[in-house]
Amino acid sequence: MIAIPATSVANLRDLGSTPLAGGHTVRSGLVFRAGQLDRMDAAADPAVAELGLRTIVDFRTAAERADYPDRVPAGTRLLIADALADKMSAAGAPAAAQLKHILANPVIAEEHLGGGKAQALFADTYRSLVSSGSARAAYRTLLTELAADDAGPLLFHCTAGKDRTGWGATVILSLLGADEATIEREYLSVNPAVREAFAPLIEGFVTQGGDPEIALAVIGVVPEYLAAALDEVATAYGSMEKYARDGLGVPDDAIARLRERLIA
> What residue spans define the domains of the chain?
2-262
pLDDT at 67 over 80: yes
Residue 133, pLDDT score: 96
Given a cut of 90, whether residue 35 has pLDDT beyond it is: yes
Q: Are 131 and 82 in contact (CB under 8 A)?
A: no
Write the burial class of residue 30 (CB in 10 Å: 0-12 exposed, 13-18 middle, 19+ buried): buried
pLDDT at 95: 55
Q: Quick one: fold of 2-262?
A: Protein-Tyrosine Phosphatase; Chain A (3.90.190)
Q: What percent of the chain has pLDDT over 90?
A: 72
Mean pLDDT score, 49-58: 96
What is the per-residue pLDDT for 119?
84
pLDDT tops 70 at residue 3 = yes
Minimal CA–CA distance to 221: which of 190, 247, 261, 263?
Answer: 190
pLDDT in tens, 83-128: 999 987 655 555 555 656 777 778 878 877 788 888 888 899 999 9
**Least confident interval from 10-24, 67-81, 103-117, 206-220:** 103-117
**pLDDT at residue 200 above 70?**
yes
